[in-house]
Amino acid sequence: MKIENLEKYRCPLSGEKLVLDKSSKIEDNKVVEGILLAVKANKKYFIREGCVDFITPEQEIKGAAFARQYYSEIAKTYDENVHITFELYKENELDIRNRMINLLELKSNFKVLEVSAGTGQDSQIIASKLNKEGGLWLLDISPDMLAYNMQKLKNVTNTSTEYVVASACAIPFSDNSFDALYCFAGVGHFPDIAKGLSEMARVVKAGGKVVFSEKNVPEWLRETEYGKVCINNNPMFADPVPLKYIPVEARNVGVRWINGNVHYVFDYTVGEGEPQGNFDMEIPGERGGSFNSRYYGKLEGVSKETKKKAIQAQKLSGKSMHKWLDEIISKEAEILINRGK
């Protein structure tokens, strides 16, 4: 961990800023061994061989333990077997990975976070696109997967790399820390997908891109032999597409199915809060009014007969229903209010 990057980190449990323990060993402005302290939360996070481990017993209990254990067991053989994920569908791994990474629209000075980076198949492609002003942060819940990633990227000199053991559901970085975020084949393992997806949006600056992908047999292939064979092999192919967990900050959301049509890829640009509309705009026509008057201006209904008469009168008035009603009600209300004064 570079000393200058300390600012970016926060406690994954309390969100507070972290303090570097005085006993920490620093070489070339990097913390090689040491401890990050979260004073309020009373937590210690250890830095070993430059990599911070943010996994606490609390997070293990919340579902992180299984994935951590599973991937630690298969880390050694992961790279030998990962080509299967693409060859099964007659696809070219490099081509698929590049297509997803291109959606990030990277600039060489970008600071990028890769979530569930694993052994670094995508990390090396992303790193090759960045320069010294930029940087790549690799986050994974399994220190064993990251150990292979570190090995793969050890000769990367064009940009800086930093490794973090953490859960995607409690990302140990401050808000707006990155220009882009990428996650391939991690979401399906998150113990809380809603939290994971909202965390991913939180740490990206407004205007930055988020790209994530996971296996999924789309609805239109569910009843095909092809789809059934995939789901039979791994029930995760039938997991729902997390549309309802896409954060409200997402703008220009794209989704496509690639890699044999059984992996969705979402890409979106991070915005600020909810989208803002021009909802006071007058809408022409008989009904009239605006999106806002139709939403906020509802009163109790009237009788069937009164409604019939109102429609007749509104037509004679030459005004929209909204304008006619709004004027009459406002005028009448003012008379009563003034009388009451």
Ligand X SMILES: C[S@@+](CC[C@H](N)C(=O)[O-])C[C@H]1O[C@@H](n2cnc3c(N)ncnc32)[C@H](O)[C@@H]1O
Contacts with ligand X by CB under 6 A lie at 64, 67, 71, 82, 115-118, 121-122, 140-142, 145, 167-169, 184-186, 189-190
Comparing CB distances to ligand X, the nearer of 258 and 310 is 258
- Shortest Å, Cβ 131 to ligand X: 23
Comparing CB distances to ligand X, the nearer of 117 and 230 is 117
Q: Is residue 13 a contact partner of residue 41, using CB atoms and an 8 Å limit?
A: yes
- Shortest Å, Cβ 271 to ligand X: 25
- Shortest Å, Cβ 59 to ligand X: 8
- Shortest Å, Cβ 80 to ligand X: 12
Comparing CB distances to ligand X, the nearer of 119 and 314 is 119
CB atoms within 10 A of CB 6: 14
> What one-character DSSP code corresponds to residue 336?
H
Q: Is residue 325 a contact partner of residue 290, using CB atoms and an 8 Å limit?
A: no
Comparing CB distances to ligand X, the nearer of 114 and 322 is 114
- Name the residue type at position 231: I
Report the DSSP pairing between strands 51-53 and 30-38.
unpaired
Question: What are the DSSP calls for 98-136, one per residue?
Answer: HHHHHTT---TT-EEEEET-TTSTTHHHHHHT--TTSEE
Comparing CB distances to ligand X, the nearer of 167 and 293 is 167
Alpha helices in 215-318 (DSSP H): 225-233, 291-296, 304-317
Q: Which residue is nearest to ligand X (CB)?
A: 118
Report the DSSP pairing between strands 204-215 and 263-270.
antiparallel
- Shortest Å, Cβ 192 to ligand X: 9
Comparing CB distances to ligand X, the nearer of 119 and 293 is 119
- Shortest Å, Cβ 236 to ligand X: 10
Alpha helices in the chain (DSSP H): 57-59, 65-81, 84-87, 93-102, 123-128, 143-152, 193-202, 225-233, 291-296, 304-317, 321-340
